[in-house]
């Protein structure tokens, strides 16, 4: 069977891509075309088929019968022809890394969201032709060119590779450089005042620091032998999605206005670049080959994402892009975030991973009370395990040895992912210690991580401070002169009394309140306040006894009189030896 995709965009201002898939040398009476429901790396069923419209088919040169057999499946009757062509229009106006976008300025394609697969033929090689809008001159896609004179035509070894090849079309900037002996290309869309030379220099440092952890770069032996960054600078939020030899990154336009913005730019770049190894190659066994039609469950996103978050700052530290103080500050901020989330006591990271599809990607007003992020908690688990390995091996090894081991043993030697038992075994093998209890308490359970015990190995300690003494337990937002409750913290005075999200706080102690934190400055735990709220037009009054605010801010400081052993372990931790 031969498969050829054509993607056209003759009227980009209407936001429609026109896709046709020609399938020849068929032997069955019909061909089923299926649209993926989700994109690997983003664990939510997005039902991309919702954007398909006006479809048609041909068998040979004649019009063919086509009908749907499921929400994402179209059946084309072959009528004894050996070739069928299925065409559809796809609405594309969702500018995220996981969706498609097309307007009069440019087009972006996340192929899982645009290109259907031929049922039963995900492994069949295909070709792809992009027909850019008439005034557009560039196509950036991390696929090798096909052996043809047809412009913008590429080889597609299989459907998984197509899904892993995001596409930017338009008149964007492209600049290239070499790092870690691999050519890198940057496709850059968006107005901004970036400094090309600075970015090349900083990206090179990130690439070399990441490659140094593994001692080899996977793109050297991959398809195109290069790596592509697609960067969008937009009036929107941050976002990134990892692929086999590329990544898509979205940054808000103000990114380059401040040092903080630029620091986040480097953090997200380091994050997505580390995914080149962790998740795209060192992967939980359940994550590939993928079933694109339904949820692919794993308990290991705390490794796939959490370890990657931890390595952001390890890489930036190794690359010389952040100093020790910033590195420690990053960890203290993550601890502050995790330890002030009530859901940390409710949901384990393994459950958080499994339920990503219905919880992490579908948050509601109660999520902080009941869930924990496998990103930030996973990063703290990585921290604990890194410190544990350094201590138990007398500074000989660290978490890098575990990552290398997983890369060599599972990805390279066996070409498969690892399971829950195997990640534990790898950690035990490198540290030389049994981790039954750690896993039971902190990974499958929700017991608080023993921060100070582990941080002492490297001569550090956590210092807690309480900034706001008294609290009611609600977060609020002021819109149209009304103060509305946006969150009620579990087990707080407001929670126990019955304040709800969406309630309007009309008065407290008969005063109008604009800023709740300011109001609390004069209050003490034990004070009683009269809270008047309005809910759906009904006024209600509550007498609430204020309590001590449990919100704690952590700082990571150096112990005085550190031993030589601690100093050496600290260096190993910060990757200075």
Q: Which is nearer to Zn ion, 305 or 386 (CB)?
A: 305
* Closer residue to Zn ion (CB): 153 or 278: 278
Residues forming beta bridges with residue 558, ordered by sequence position: 460
Contact residues for 2 (Cβ-Cβ < 8 A; gap 6+): 22, 23, 24, 25, 124, 126
Residues 562, 82: Cα–Cα separation, whole Å:
76
Q: Tell me which residues in 65-124 interact with Zn ion (CB under 5 A).
A: none
Q: How far is the CB of 279 from Zn ion (least distance, A)?
A: 7
Instruction: Determine the Cα–Cα distance for residues 352 and 241; give it in Å rounded to an integer.
Output: 20
> Which of 272, 420 has the CB closer to Zn ion?
272
Angle made by CA atoms 217, 220, 222, in degrees to the nearest 5: 110
E strand intervals along 16-105 = 16-24, 30-34, 52-59, 62-63, 66-70, 73-77, 83-91, 101-102
In angstroms, rounded to a whole number, what is the distance separating the alpha carbons of residues 6 and 83? 15
Instruction: Give the shortest CB-249-to-Zn ion separation in angstroms.
Output: 11
DSSP state, residue 238: -
Give least dist CB 517 to Zn ion, A. Answer: 33
Nearer to Zn ion, 20 or 308 (CB): 308
* Smallest distance from Zn ion to CB 179, Å: 21
Locate tokens 């688990």: which residue? Answer: 381
- Residue 381 CB, nearest distance to Zn ion (Å)? 15
Q: Are 25 and 2 in contact (CB under 8 A)?
A: yes
Which x/- pattern over 246-285 shows residues binding Zn ion (rule: CB under 5 A)? Answer: ----------------------------------------
Smallest separation (angstroms) from Zn ion to the CB of 125:
29
Contacts of residue 419, defined as CB under 8 A and 6 or more positions apart, other chains included, come to 284, 285
Question: Smallest distance from the beta carbon of 100 to Zn ion, in angstroms?
Answer: 21
Closer by beta carbon to Zn ion, 202 or else 305: 305
Nearer to Zn ion, 51 or 243 (CB): 243
Angle at Cα 205 formed by Cα 191 and Cα 241, nearest 5°? 55
- 305 or 420: whose CB is closer to Zn ion? 305
When the beta carbons of 305 and 401 are compared against Zn ion, the nearer one is 305
Q: Provide, rounded to whole angstroms, the least separation between the CB of residue 275 and Zn ion.
A: 6
The least CB distance from residue 509 to Zn ion, in Å, is 46
**Cα 302 to Cα 76: distance, rounded to the nearest angstrom:** 42
- C-beta of 232: minimal distance to Zn ion in Å? 17
Q: Which CB atom, from 41 or from 493, has the smaller least distance to Zn ion?
A: 41
Number of residues that bind Zn ion (CB under 5 A): 1
| Tokens linked to 553 | 């801010």
Instruction: Locate 124 and state its tokens.
Output: 């069949």
For β-strands 73-77 and 538-545, DSSP reports them as unpaired
Token couple for 305: 């994402």
- Give the nearest distance from C-beta 570 to Zn ion in angstroms: 27
| CA–CA separation, 554 and 453 (whole Å) | 15
Element spanning 126, H or E = strand 126-131
Of 406, 454, 216, residue with least CA distance to 307 = 406
Task: Classify residue 421 as exposed, middle or buried by CB count within 10 Å of its CB (0-12, 13-18, 19+).
Answer: exposed
Helix locations, 287-323, DSSP H: 301, 308-318
β-strand 547-548 against 2-8: which pairing, if any?
unpaired
The strand pairing partners of 548, in sequence order, are 470
In the bound state with Zn ion, the residue whose beta carbon lies nearer, of 293 and 305, is: 305
Q: Nearer Cβ to Zn ion, position 240 or 395? A: 240
Q: Which is nearer to Zn ion, 379 or 455 (CB)?
A: 379
CB of 304 to Zn ion, least distance (A): 7
Q: Which CB atom, from 32 or from 305, has the smaller least distance to Zn ion?
A: 305
Q: How far is the CB of 280 from Zn ion (least distance, A)?
A: 10
- The distance in angstroms from the start CA to the end CA of the chain is 54
Per CB under 5 A, contacts with Zn ion among 281-340 are 305
Instruction: For residue 439, give the nearest of 455, 428, 431, 430 by alpha carbon.
Output: 428
DSSP state of 387: H
Rg (CA), the chain: 27
Contacts with Zn ion by CB under 5 A lie at: 305
């Amino acid at each position: 069977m031969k498969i050829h995709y054509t993607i056209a965009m003759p009227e980009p201002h209407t936001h429609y891509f026109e896709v046709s898939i020609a399938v020849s040398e068929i032997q069955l009476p019909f061909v089923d075309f299926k649209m993926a429901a989700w994109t690997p790396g983003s664990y939510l069923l997005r039902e991309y088929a919702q954007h398909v419209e006006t479809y048609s088919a041909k068998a040979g040169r004649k019009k063919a019968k086509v009908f749907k057999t499921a929400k994402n499946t179209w059946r084309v009757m072959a009528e004894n022809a050996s070739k069928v062509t299925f065409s559809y229009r796809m609405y594309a106006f969702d500018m995220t890394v996981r969706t498609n976008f097309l307007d009069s300025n440019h087009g972006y394609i996340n192929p899982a969201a645009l290109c259907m697969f031929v049922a039963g033929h995900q492994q069949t090689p295909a070709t792809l032709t992009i027909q850019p809008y008439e005034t557009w001159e560039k196509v950036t896609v991390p696929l090798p060119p096909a052996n043809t004179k047809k412009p913008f035509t590429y080889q597609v070894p299989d459907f998984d590779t197509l899904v892993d090849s995001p596409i930017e079309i338009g008149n964007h900037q492209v600049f290239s450089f070499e790092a870690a002996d691999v050519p890198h290309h940057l496709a850059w869309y968006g107005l901004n005042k970036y400094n090309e030379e600075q970015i090349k220099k900083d990206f090179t440092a990130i690439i070399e620091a990441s490659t140094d952890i593994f001692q080899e770069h996977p793109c050297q032996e991959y398809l195109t032998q290069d790596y592509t960054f697609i960067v969008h600078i937009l009036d929107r939020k941050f976002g990134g999605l990892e692929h086999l030899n590329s990544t898509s990154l979205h940054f808000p336009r103000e990114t380059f206005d401040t040092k903080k913005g630029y620091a986040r730019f480097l953090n997200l770049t380091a994050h997505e670049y580390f995914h080149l190894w962790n998740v795209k190659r060192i992967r939980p066994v359940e994550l590939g080959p993928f079933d694109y039609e339904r949820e692919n469950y794993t308990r290991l996103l705390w490794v796939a994402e959490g370890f990657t978050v931890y390595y952001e700052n390890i890489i930036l530290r190794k690359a010389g892009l952040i100093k020790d103080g910033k590195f420690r500050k990053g960890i203290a901020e993550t601890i502050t975030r995790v330890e002030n989330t009530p859901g940390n006591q409710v949901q384990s990271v393994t459950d958080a991973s499994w339920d990503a599809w219905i919880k992490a990607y579908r948050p509601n007003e109660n999520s902080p009370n009941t869930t924990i992020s496998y990103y930030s908690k996973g990063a703290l688990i990585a921290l604990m395990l890194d410190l544990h390995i350094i201590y138990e091996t007398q500074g000989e090894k660290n978490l890098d040895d575990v990552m290398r081991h997983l890369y060599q043993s599972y990805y390279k030697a066996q070409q498969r992912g690892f399971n829950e038992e195997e990640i534990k075994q790898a950690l035990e093998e490198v540290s030389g210690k049994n981790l039954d209890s750690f896993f039971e308490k902190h990974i499958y359970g929700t017991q608080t991580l023993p921060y100070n015990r582990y941080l002492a190995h490297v001569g550090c300690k956590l210092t807690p401070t309480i900034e706001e003494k008294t609290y009611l337990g609600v977060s609020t937002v002021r819109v149209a002169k009304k103060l509305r409750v946006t969150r009620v913290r579990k087990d707080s005075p407001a929670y126990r009394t019955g304040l709800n999200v969406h309630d309007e706080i009309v008065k407290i102690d008969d005063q109008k309140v604009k800023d709740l934190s300011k109001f609390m400055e004069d209050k003490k735990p034990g004070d009683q306040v009269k809270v008047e709220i309005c809910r759906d037009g009904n006024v209600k009054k509550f007498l609430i006894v204020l309590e001590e605010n449990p919100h704690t801010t952590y700082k990571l400081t150096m112990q005085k009189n550190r031993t030589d052993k601690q100093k050496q372990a600290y260096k190993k931790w910060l990757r200075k030896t």
